[in-house]
Amino acid sequence: MGQLEGKVAFITGAASGIGREIALVFALEGATIAIADLNQQGASTVAAEIEKTGGNAIGLAVDVTNEEQVATAVATTVKAFGNIDILISNAGIQIVCPIEEFSFADWKRMLAIHLDGAFLTTRACVKQMVASGKGGSIIYMGSVHSKEASVLKAPYVTAKHGLIGLAKTVAKEGAQHNIRANVICPGFVRTPLVDKQIPEQARTLGISEAEVIRDVMLKRTVDGEFTTTTDIARVALMFASFPTNALTGQSLVVSHGWFMQ
């Protein structure tokens, strides 16, 4: 029997990268999955992949910054599958730029996707977790940048630090309802989000793409290796299946030792 048999997981940004891998792994562990992503076609493709292996999933077109769309997607999931036991708030983007050139519009867009998205999905899912009386597990996709800064990433670092505050608050408010909240903090993972940054950083820093990988992204790891989507899905499974409030309000760095607490 899978570790998430009978559970329903609502995963944002699951049409691609880390969220997609978590959706596939959770489905193999028995969970029913709602893939909530801006990319409707990508969400449907991942849902079809899950169905093909005997799992149960729906793809939902959702902009996590839109209050109404988030409420509708959560309601649709509950109607289809009866409950939501796990929220993975994972949708995210990256914009790299020196702070003095960062447009206010890009700053607001970054905070909206990472923080408003986390708030709106949390609020909607917590309501359901309380109403069901079963509680649940909320997992935020933070980053090493929840703990550490890097140049050119002011709004990303700000937002990712903010997620730790949100998780700690939800852990305190949720405990009485058996709702847990934790943050996963990955190092660099080769997904479309990172692949886009490599040439951008090379241009901005005036170095080659190979140098960006070796001297910027992986320089401070213990072994010069990228973290993988599989590594992150394993940790998400650990948080999602943990049975008690002993593990709540925490943030765990998974980065090949780039950042050590």
Q: Which residues bind ligand NAD (CB under 6 A)?
A: 12-13, 15-19, 37-39, 42, 62-65, 90-93, 113, 141, 143, 186, 188-189, 191-194
Q: Which is nearer to ligand NAD, 28 or 194 (CB)?
A: 194
Q: Which is nearer to ligand NAD, 191 or 201 (CB)?
A: 191
Torsions phi, psi for 165 (to 5 deg) = -65, -40
Catalytic residue among 156, 188, 226, 258: 156
Q: Which is nearer to ligand NAD, 28 or 193 (CB)?
A: 193
Q: Which is nearer to ligand NAD, 103 or 176 (CB)?
A: 103
Beta bridge partners of 59: 35
CB of 16 to ligand NAD, least distance (A): 3
CB of 214 to ligand NAD, least distance (A): 16
Tell me if residue 140 is catalytic: no
CB of 165 to ligand NAD, least distance (A): 16
Residue corresponding to tokens 């608050």: 169
Collect all residues with Cβ–Cβ distance below 8 Å to 27 and sequence separation of at least 6: 33, 50, 53, 55, 56, 57
CB of 34 to ligand NAD, least distance (A): 12
Active site residues: 156
